[in-house]
Amino acid sequence: MSDEIILTVEGSTAVLRVNRPGARNALNWTAQEQFAGAVEEVAGDGRVRALIITGTGDKAFVSGGDIKELHNHPEPAVAARLNRVMRDALTQLGTLTIPVLAAVNGDAFGGGCEILTACDLRLAAGHARFSFAQVRNGLTTGWGGTGRLARLLGQSRALELLLTSRLLDAREAYRIGLIHRIAPEGEEALAAALAWAEELSRLPQAALAATKTLVMAAGERPLTELNQLETDLFIGLWPHPDHLEAMRAFVEKRPPRFNGESTTD
């Protein structure tokens, strides 16, 4: 994999880093293909219990597609390729059974905000700024961001952010629910996200995956179907070793140890 995208595994956490700080971490063709490849690699790695997406430096998280590379290509085929590669990558990102965290190290503009909407949990540095800037470029979102944003924040708020393309600071992004946490002062977003991922990795992985499935289905399925899915998942988890361990630990008044970890001292 080229150094446009760097994929590393730290313990049980994978970190996908967009590594184009000189271009404010804009995604050129190579970076887009490598981003998609990295998501595919994580999807096939059973050792990984959480994925963090971040950018290099402290100026930008991701600033969308690389306009310098794209501005001389008005052909519809170019738009179709740009749409397909990242749309499919972010769709796959949303189907991963592990928690996906965004560590927003700097500004997230345009497609960078679309990447955020495909992450389960979003943490930002205090200086980060956000803008769904597509309309200023004469475009809509192209990577599935509109549908995900409307589900995250509601139709009215999504319309306001998409139509105005206004700039939000981290505090407002937190207040409206675009991000879940702001990194403590003096701590990098990635460090805070790694600590969060470590907490998640100690939770029952099967239950996390089932919960993600259930929440994602909640925005798409009728209530009767959702209730049946919930029933199926709940019953399926009941005899799972993690649930049995949780009950034993409660009775024995000790911390539970999940995901096949030894319960012997």
In the chain, the percentage of residues whose pLDDT exceeds 70 is 95
CATH of residue 192: 3.90.226.10
Does residue 82 surpass a pLDDT of 70? yes
pLDDT at 71: 63
What is the spatial order of strands in the sheet that 13-18 belongs to?
A: 5-10, 13-18, 50-55, 100-104, 121-124, 181-182
If pLDDT is split at 50, 70 and 90, which confidence band does 73 have?
low
Do 156 and 85 lie in a common domain? yes
Asked if residue 264 belongs to a domain, the reply is: no
Q: Do 184 and 217 have their domain in common? A: no
Locate tokens 């995208």: which residue?
5
Statement to judge: residues 16 and 119 lie in one domain: yes
Predicted structure pTM score: 0.92
Whether 240 and 189 map to the same domain: the answer is: no
Tell whether 33 is covered by a domain: yes
Domain that holds residue 61: 5-201
Which H or E run includes 10?
strand 5-10
259 belongs to a structural domain: no
Lowest mean pLDDT among 10-14, 27-31, 63-67, 244-248: 63-67
Residue 168: band (very low, low, confident or very high) from pLDDT cuts 50, 70, 90: very high
261 found inside a domain: no
User: What value does the mean pLDDT of the chain take?
Assistant: 93
CATH of the domain at 213: 1.10.12
* Residue 145, in any domain of the structure: yes
Q: What is the DSSP secondary-structure string of 153-182?
A: H-HHHHHHHHHH---EEHHHHHHHTS-SEE
Q: Are residues 59 and 122 in the same domain?
A: yes
C-alpha distances out from residue 219 to 41, 97, 120, 147, Å: 27, 17, 14, 10
Name the band, by pLDDT with cuts 50, 70 and 90, for residue 262. low
Together in a domain, 248 and 119 = no
**What is the number of residues in the chain?**
265
Q: Which residue, 201, 220, 242, sits at the end of a domain?
A: 201
Q: Are residues 34 and 146 in the same domain?
A: yes
Contacting residues for 87 by C-beta, under 8 A, at least 6 apart: 142, 143, 144
Number of domains, the chain: 2
Task: Answer whether residue 260 is part of any domain.
Answer: no
Same-domain pairing of 117 and 243: no
- 108 and 67 in a common domain: yes
Domain assignment present for 262: no
d(CA 131, CA 107): 8
If asked whether residues 81 and 101 sit together in one domain, one would say: yes
* Nearest alpha-carbon partner for 161 in 193, 116, 127, 124: 116
Least confident range from 26-30, 35-39, 50-54, 97-101: namely: 26-30
Q: Is residue 170 part of a domain?
A: yes
For residues 170-180, give the mean pLDDT. Answer: 98
Q: Are residues 65 and 178 in the same domain?
A: yes
Burial class (CB in 10 A: 0-12, 13-18, 19+), 202: middle
Residues 148 and 233 in one domain: no
